[in-house]
Structure 1
Amino acid sequence: MSVLIVIPARYASSRYPGKPLVGLTGASGQTRSLIERSWRAAQEVSGVDRVVVATDDGRIQQAAEGFGAEVVMTSSDCVNGTERCAEAHETLGGGYDVVVNLQGDAPLTPHWFIEDLVAGLRAAPEAEIATPVLRCDGATLTGFLDDRKAGRVGGTTAVFDSTHRALYFSKEVIPFTSAYYAETEETPVFHHVGVYAYRPQALAAYPGWPIGPLEQLEGLEQLRFMENGRAVLCVEVDARERQFWELNNPQDVPKLEQMMARMGLD
């Protein structure tokens, strides 16, 4: 089964313009851009046939080609990363069995998250898209709640049924819990990891579907699949004591750098 990883990246982010080119300093003091760190994370994934950066911006193209990435130029009309992945796959001529969307703001994504994700999609023929979920510990849940209290959009949470079919994703913290948890204690809240694995037929159909009210309200691209009756598989992954966070706001930069320092990641 052939696997393509696409790293969609745009410069004109409404919340954080120029985010893919923001520098992150690792444990040894080496500073690399967010897009380079995401590309390096993709290189560690086993069983992958090709990795490309998909962008509509010449600055990102120049930076990506500068550190050795293959770049596919896509339209500025793409409204989200899934649409950009669909266009990139088509531009490359298609033919891949699984297309993985490794969003360019998640450089701490461990390789086994993606490996487990692809394996989960392979084992679930009824699913047309799969995405990882990670059970929150008390510290992560506290971070989510603090972001919301401060009016910031932090991580996304997910709820799913007994077969791991997604019921909903939200930028609010769901399900509601009034309990308080110790820093390392497991909680009933699952962090949605911003990676997707698509079957090519569903990915190709996606740009032609209308944006529904839930996708518009939440700003979450995966909801378009659900609003069109497509099964989204949530694959639970194990952090293996590794910290994970996405870069959503400028305030996340020092948080990510501190995590890399603690984990000794360069």
Structure 2
Amino acid sequence: MTLEILTADSLSPLRHGFFTRKGGASSGVFKGLNCGFGSSDQREAVATNRTRVAEAMQIDPDMLVTLHQVHSPDVVTVTAPLTKQHKADAMVSATPGIALGVLSADCQPVLFADAKAGVIGAAHAGWSGAMAGVLEETIDAMIALGAARDRITAVIGPAISQRAYEIGPEYFDRFMDEDPDNTRFFANGTGDKMQFDLPGYGIHRLRNAGVNAEWIRHCTYSDPDRFFSYRRSVHEKEADYGRLISTIRL
């Protein structure tokens, strides 16, 4: 099956892609393009899937760089293929030929570019990482490499939408403690639960940081044929879940 790659005009002409689960070698609950070595999928299948992604990005597999993601605000500046997997949630680079890749399964994969300066970034941003500042830290790291804030474009890929993301009151309280205006990202759910708009929150933080930002408006939870979803796997009592990959390169 052919890979399905979602793109954003605003990131052109840089080669990039928000890959769906279609076209991979994995089977079972991981059926399709599972790119997460942290899953319990067969390692050979994940390696094959990553090779297919690298081929689509027109690079060798060892030039596809990913991280050990830990929901942090930490950013790695990449100048060459990494010799070890760093614990961090974002990367920036000004080195041609290296593809930055982030994994997700409901959290926001965010790709950044200042094409004129030749600087790119990629971030994994769940609610905790976004609240901790991973998006702003990525922007600052790009500027340190020569990007201009007003030229940076950030695109949020497939992520869980508000209608599918119910959270408890303790999370709502944390967002209110951060900023009472965050109430705009919540709607009433069942009982004392709330529905949280993760992409809306991400766009708000990105635009407040002075960059152009958009969401491609695909919900991971609501489209099982195209996307993996951690929350859906929990609701369906599956043993594990696949990871989507989003990549960008110079």
Report the TM range for the smaller structure's normalisation.
0.3 to 0.5
TM-score of the aligned structures, taking structure 2 as reference length: 0.35
